[in-house]
Amino acid sequence: MNKHALLSASGAAKWLNCTPSARLEEKIPNRTSNYAREGTLAHTLAELTVNYWLNNISEMDFENQKDELVASEEGQEFFNMEMQEYINDYAKLITDKVKAAKEVCEDTFAELEVKVDFSKWVPDGFGTSDCVIVSDKILEIIDLKYGKGHRVEAAGNLQMRLYALGALEYYGQLYDIEKIRMTIFQPRLSGVQSSDEITVKELLKWAEEVVRPKAKEAFEGKGEFAPSEEICKFCRAKEECRARYDYNLNIFDESPDPLLITPDEAAAVLTKAGDMRGWLDDLEDLVYSALMKGEKVNGYKIVEGRSNRAFADESKVVKAMKKAGYKEALLYEKKLITLTQMEKDFGKKEVAEILKDLIIKPKGKPKLVPESDKRPEMQINEAVIAAFDEN
Ligand code: SF4
């Protein structure tokens, strides 16, 4: 088995919507980000912690393996108390679910980091599901998303459905399963969890009618490119893709005709240009990387950026200032670390408990977002206008 499937479950939103993307991405080297490294560490810790919470391993084994993990390169870089707290929330979610399911069916069991194979519908399609709970007639797939960038909904989630197919392919042969529940847990987004359910019949219908034909096209690199803000940002070809380039450059063809445009017309352009901001950053990255490799790019060059002066050796600075007659106490300042840093170092719950009423959250400034944004609309009244006019 390859480490990365061409048509992966996590990339399903891309290749099911923009079928030629998978073969195009093959031409672009895969870069590992720090977010991905942090996510991998969190998932390894999650597997270990849940195994301990489910009594699959002893406390000593848990502590020893955790010490090893924390001492690893990723552990040194990304582990903190906050991470363990978030993972404990995930472990609680799993153990609560297993306990509740056992009350109905005592044969319920959970498996972690399950390799799921959905190659019956998707050429070479496989992935790893964080947790599968098998109970009476119901199979639950749980996915831990450690990122805090954006909320991911389980409803209609293509990645979860492919995991469900792979899990059904295996467990469906051994157990009588009628329904599949898919749950996404995002501990860093205030423990958001969302679930969706699908019957086995509906899932298999979707697999035959949608997945199989689209996967064939994607595997063969055929079909239409479908650039969009939601999909392109997760694509490895996002910088070089010509379809995205054409789509973004053609976006302003339908110019409104009056001399002065209305807010509605401006909003229509903003909606269409949703991908433009990210795309311009991607283009900048592309030109920057080419120049850094020594290639020539018309109209651009690399210059030395601004830099700030710094002390070459702090202990020698202190010595020199003291020798010049300045008191050591005057050379240092005492500064409180930020709330975010405290939560990382000491754990979110611990800090919340100690500081209780000492944490305030001022009202956010009015912000323009598309209507599809999940947040409730802010009521604009005179008090709001006055409050933000002063600033
Ligand atoms: S950048 Fe967008 S349009 Fe281009 S291949 Fe990727 S997903 Fe498709």
Q: Is the pLDDT of residue 391 over 70?
A: no
Residue 74: what pLDDT?
A: 92
Q: 128, 43 in Cβ contact below 8 A?
A: no
Instruction: Tokens for 371, please give them.
Output: 């209507």
Q: Which atom belonging to ligand 1 lies closest to the Cα atom of 242?
A: 4
**Per-residue confidence at 382, pLDDT binned at 50, 70, 90?**
confident
- For the chain, percent of residues with pLDDT exceeding 90: 59
Task: For the chain, give the mean pLDDT.
Answer: 89
Query: What is the whole-number distance in angstroms between the Cα of residue 156 and the centre of ligand 1?
Result: 21
Query: What is the whole-number distance in angstroms between the Cα of residue 381 and the centre of ligand 1?
Result: 42
Residues 6 or more apart in contact with residue 127 via CB below 8 angstroms:
5, 8, 9, 10, 115, 116, 118, 159, 162, 163, 166
Tell me the one-letter amino acid at 63: E
Q: 146, 86 in Cβ contact below 8 A?
A: yes
For residue 162, the Cα-to-chain-centroid distance in whole angstroms is: 18
Phi, psi (rounded to 5 degrees) for 28: -105, 130
Domain 12-220 annotated CATH 3.10.20: no
For residue 48, the Cα-to-chain-centroid distance in whole angstroms is: 21
Mean pLDDT value across residues 157-183:
93
Q: Which atom belonging to ligand 1 lies closest to the Cα atom of 21?
A: 5
Q: 227, 244 in Cβ contact below 8 A?
A: yes
Residue 253: what pLDDT?
A: 56
Residue 2: what pLDDT?
A: 42
Q: Is the pLDDT of residue 295 over 70?
A: yes
Query: Atom 2, ligand 1: which residue's CA is nearest?
Result: 232
Q: Is the pLDDT of residue 384 over 80?
A: no
Query: Atom 3, ligand 1: which residue's CA is nearest?
Result: 227
Least confident of 64-68, 223-227, 386-390: 386-390
Long-range (24+ apart) CB contacts under 8 A made by 95-102 are 95/50, 95/53, 95/54, 97/133, 97/140, 97/142, 98/54, 98/133, 101/133, 101/135, 101/138, 101/140
**Per-residue confidence at 374, pLDDT binned at 50, 70, 90?**
confident
Mutate which of 21, 230, 234 for ligand 1 pocket (most atoms within 8 A of beta carbon): 21
pTM (two decimals): 0.79
Instruction: Tokens for 342, please give them.
Output: 């405290």
Domain spans of the chain, in order of start: 12-220, 229-292, 315-358
Reduced to 3 states, what is the DSSP secondary structure of residue 273? Answer: helix
List 129's β-bridge partners, or say none. 114
Say how far apart CA 265 and CA 215 lie, in whole Å. Answer: 38
Residues lining ligand 1, Cβ inside 6 A: 14, 18, 21, 24, 225, 227, 231-232, 235, 237-238, 241, 243-244
